[in-house]
Amino acid sequence: MSALFEFCLRMGDNTLVLGHRVSEWCGHAPVLEEDIALANTALDLIGQTQLWLGLAAEVQGEGKSADDLAFLRDAWDFRNALLCELPNGDFGQTLMRQYLFDEWHCMMLNALRSSTEKRVSDIADKAIKEASYHLERSRDTVIGLGDGTTESHARMQAALDYLYPYVGELFVADGHDEAATKAGIAPDLASLRDGYDAALSATMAAAMLTIPDDKFAHKGGRTGRMHTEHLGHMLTQMQWLQRAYPGASW
């Protein structure tokens, strides 16, 4: 059942890589309250990763665990969207990345609640509550900073200009996605686009930000064809312990 395996990897790698990125803020956020909120978000995403990669490992049937998949694969085996692995940049860029992901994540999880695969709909039922809160928070912050001071507005516009070309990948299906859709496991990715664009337009209008006209989309993360140069660096941090002390456990 490789369509289900591939699908779980893509969901789990999104949350793993983004969760790790967000966790990099721990102890560094501009104010204490945001620091805790970001850490909570990161922990939610890592928790969801355990479910997705746990299911992936189960489906794979090679006796591996979620931890094996998280820590013993190299960059080319990761299946996350490129958006998730991009560097944090400033606080505004982190929150813009979070918002762009959360909006998609909520739509995806909502659709997955009616998956024909019960193990998938169970995960979606649990994750949607966390993702809805992430979305509420990231949307409010994007609006607050976009419609804030001249400085915060300029930073948020720069963040949107930088990140928007990475949004398109979330909606482009390949053979594995088509197989998952056919099996009723997952929705047709392209079918989520209109709702996403409408939500994005409403948020950016409220944030006084301009969505770039160019629809060019960087791709290659979800298929594993080509990640950005940032993922490998991130993995050296995330996986250093297993790389330095293979098999270490505690």
Partner 1 sequence: MSKEWPLWEIFIRGQHGLSHRHVGSLHAPDAEMAIKNARDVYTRRNEGQSIWVVEAKHISASNPSDKGPMYEPSESKVYRHPTFFDIPEDVGAM
203 and 99 Cβ atoms separated by less than 8 Å: yes
Distance of closest approach, residue 40 Cβ to partner 1, in angstroms: 5
Task: State which of residues 21, 137, 155, 176 lies at the interface with partner 1 (CB under 8 A).
Answer: 137
The single-letter DSSP state of residue 219 is -
Q: Which is nearer to partner 1, 65 or 132 (CB)?
A: 132
Residue 67 CB coordination number (10 Å) = 14
What is the phi-psi region of residue 89: left when phi exceeds 0, alpha when psi lies from -120 to 50, beta otherwise? left
Q: Closest distance between partner 1 and the C-beta of residue 137, in Å?
A: 6
Q: Does 31 bind partner 1 (CB under 8 A)?
A: yes
Interacting residue with partner 1 among 9, 16, 37, 180 (CB under 8 A): 37
DSSP run (H or E) holding 246 = none
Nearer to partner 1, 135 or 192 (CB): 135
Check residue 136 for interaction with partner 1 (CB under 8 A).
Answer: yes
- Is 40 near partner 1 (CB under 8 A)? yes
Which CB sits closer to partner 1, 125 or 151?
151
Q: Least distance to partner 1 from the beta carbon of 128, Å?
A: 17
- Listed ranges 66-74, 133-141, 176-184, 195-203: which one lies at the site for partner 1 (CB under 8 A): 133-141
78: three-class secondary structure by DSSP:
coil
State the nearest-atom distance from the C-beta of 18 to partner 1, in Å. Answer: 18
Buried b (16+ CB within 10 A) or exposed e, 152-187: bbebbbebbeebbbbbbbbbebeebbebbbeeebbb
Burial 102-141 (b: 16+ CB within 10 A, else e): bbbbbbbbbbbeebebebbbebbeebbebbebbbebbbeb
What is the gyration radius of the CA atoms in the chain, in angstroms?
Answer: 17
Question: Which residues between 74 and 103 bind partner 1 (CB under 8 A)?
Answer: none
Q: Which is nearer to partner 1, 79 or 134 (CB)?
A: 134
Q: How far is the CB of 37 from partner 1 (least distance, A)?
A: 4
Q: Which stretch binds partner 1 (CB under 8 A): 15-23, 34-42, 59-67, 117-125?
A: 34-42
User: How far is the CA of 62 from the CAs of 59, 68, 79, 144, in angstroms?
Assistant: 9, 11, 19, 48
Enumerate residues 142-161 that contact partner 1 by CB under 8 A. 144
Size of the site for partner 1 (CB under 8 A): 11
- For the bound state, the minimum distance from the C-beta of residue 238 to partner 1, rounded and expressed in Å, comes to 23
